[in-house]
Amino acid sequence: MFRIAKEKLNELYAKINESMGLYIPIKKAGEVNYHVWGEGKEVSLETLKTVKSPKNMFFPQTEDMMKFKTEGNNIEIIDARFEKRPFVLFGVKACDYKAIEVLDKVFLAEPVDTFYQMRREATTIVTLACSKPEESCFCTVFGIDPTAAYGDVTTWLEGEYLYWQANTEKGEALTSLVGGLLEADNGNAVEAQKEATKKVLEKLPFAALDLSRFKPENLNELFNAPEWQEMSEACLGCGTCTFVCPTCQCFDIRDFKTNNGVIRYRCWDSCMYSDFTLMAHGNSRNTQMQRFRQRFMHKLVYYPSQNDGLYSCVGCGRCVNKCPQRLNIVKVIKTLGGEKK
């Protein structure tokens, strides 16, 4: 294990940026999200949760897929992809790292999404362990250890130092790149932080959520549960939960006509919208209850039944913080799991 003084972190960022792109939590207009690092930008590693998760680095909110140019009867198809420069994604929390595993199973399964694949292969992920979890956090319910996020490199902020541990070949390569700025450490401070954080995690409000009812064999029972109607009645269908969620992967593909031709692009979509998967005959989910049910059944039943028990929720708590009606996944788990909120 290695360490670097916090006062030297800008040197670390600059060293990485010499050879690779660097995306890191940066504060802009009062909000923290992942942006390209640059001298003078306000880095905020202490922020527990960025507003949008780092999935935007692999699965952007909007992206061009191809372009079409027409001349008479001739149509030229132009691939909008470009070679992605290797980059480092720095400061990823354990929940968001686990969310990338969920996305990998969707976008890297056959047929592989080459747009996503290109960015994943170009990325070295540096995770940052949590030391001050919030009341809205419940990642441990899904078997995630926020004190030891994996990634290519795992880091910990403690006292006046950032501690550093390489885990993969990519991580070793990055460590070699910045090795001159790092000094060896025995890891005692990290172990002490882990122990203290785990005691806090045990006392969080949602630490004891029970997922035992959410199993494939209970699919029909859960699907037909009468509680869905009551829970969904206050839902606005605003889609906020899906846009802050690190595992949501729905998107729409559209064509946009320009003066020079047509651009085909994709953008995030939400299963909570009334026009989601709208077809000529209408929508297969006509009520907000059906859309509300679909979202949470997918997170807790459909996805894990098809992916060896891996839930499509990582307990980051963003939806807990952002839903204007407090209709988050915690309420669903409590209600359908037998505990009334």
Does 341 have pLDDT greater than 60? Answer: no
One domain for residues 190 and 243: no
Mean pLDDT across the stretch 315-334?
93
Does 83 have pLDDT greater than 80? Answer: no
Does 275 have pLDDT greater than 90? Answer: no
Helix (H, G, I), strand (E, B) or coil at 162: strand
Does 41 have pLDDT greater than 50? Answer: yes
Does 86 have pLDDT greater than 50? Answer: yes
pLDDT of residue 97: 97
**Interval 164-198: pLDDT, tens:** 999 999 999 999 999 899 999 999 999 999 999 99
One domain for residues 220 and 100: no
Residue 209 lies in a domain: no
Residue 210 lies in a domain: no
pLDDT-based confidence at residue 340 (cuts at 50, 70, 90): very low
pLDDT of residue 187: 93
CA distances from 74 to 68, 69, 196, 225, 254 (A): 10, 8, 67, 55, 21
One domain for residues 132 and 196: yes
Give dist(CA 191, CA 258) in Å, integer.
57
**One-letter identity of residue 207:** A
Q: Are strands 21-28 and 87-92 parallel, antiparallel or unpaired?
A: parallel
Residue 292 lies in a domain: yes
| Of the candidates 22, 44, 20, the residue with the CA atom closest to the CA atom of residue 32 | 44
Residue 1: CB atoms within 10 Å? 16
One domain for residues 17 and 62: yes
Residue 17 lies in a domain: yes
**One-letter identity of residue 243:** F
One domain for residues 77 and 25: yes
Please answer whether residues 239 and 267 qualify as being in contact, where contact means their C-beta atoms are separated by less than 8 angstroms: no
Q: Could you give the percent of the chain with pLDDT greater than 90?
A: 83
Into how many domains does the chain fold? 2
Least confident of 158-162, 180-184, 276-280: 276-280
Which of 149, 175, 202 lies at the terminal end of a domain, its last residue? Answer: 202
Residue 133 lies in a domain: yes
Residue 208 lies in a domain: no
Helix (H, G, I), strand (E, B) or coil at 257: strand
| Of the candidates 171, 85, 84, 158, the residue with the CA atom closest to the CA atom of residue 125 | 171
Helix (H, G, I), strand (E, B) or coil at 271: coil
Does 151 have pLDDT greater than 80? Answer: yes
Please answer whether residues 288 and 232 qualify as being in contact, where contact means their C-beta atoms are separated by less than 8 angstroms: yes
Please give the mean pLDDT across all residues of the chain.
Answer: 92
Tell me the chain's radius of gyration from C-alpha atoms: 22
Q: Could you give the percent of the chain with pLDDT greater than 70?
A: 96
pLDDT of residue 71: 80
Would you put residue 296 in left (φ > 0), alpha (ψ -120 to 50) or beta?
alpha
CB proximity list for 90: less than 8 A, separation 6 or greater? 13, 16, 22, 23, 24, 37, 126, 128
One domain for residues 241 and 270: yes
The residue range of the domain holding 33 is 2-202
pLDDT-based confidence at residue 55 (cuts at 50, 70, 90): very high
One domain for residues 172 and 255: no
Which of 179, 202, 225 lies at the terminal end of a domain, its last residue? Answer: 202
pLDDT of residue 282: 62
One domain for residues 30 and 118: yes
Does 339 have pLDDT greater than 60? Answer: no
One domain for residues 188 and 228: no
Give dist(CA 329, CA 296) in Å, integer.
7
Structure tokens at 146: 């926020």
Least confident of 18-27, 78-87, 150-159: 78-87
One domain for residues 191 and 253: no
Please answer whether residues 171 and 164 qualify as being in contact, where contact means their C-beta atoms are separated by less than 8 angstroms: no
Residue 144 lies in a domain: yes
Residue 39, Cβ density class (10 Å: 0-12 exposed, 13-18 middle, ≥19 buried): exposed
Mean pLDDT across the stretch 34-56?
95
Mean pLDDT across the stretch 286-310?
93
Which of 150, 178, 202 lies at the terminal end of a domain, its last residue? Answer: 202
CA distances from 30 to 9, 42, 92 (A): 22, 11, 20
Does 273 have pLDDT greater than 80? Answer: yes
Exposure string of 310-338, with b = 16+ CB inside 10 Å and e = fewer, is: ebbbbbbbbbbebbeeebbbbbbbebbee
Rounding to the nearest 10 degrees, give the CA dihedral for residues 212, 217, 219, 224: -90
Residue 259 lies in a domain: yes
Give dist(CA 128, CA 162) in Å, integer.
9
One domain for residues 188 and 227: no
**Interval 209-240: pLDDT, tens:** 999 999 999 999 999 999 999 999 999 989 89
pLDDT of residue 283: 63
One domain for residues 198 and 238: no
pTM flag (> 0.85): yes
Structure tokens at 249: 């992967």
CB proximity list for 208: less than 8 A, separation 6 or greater? none
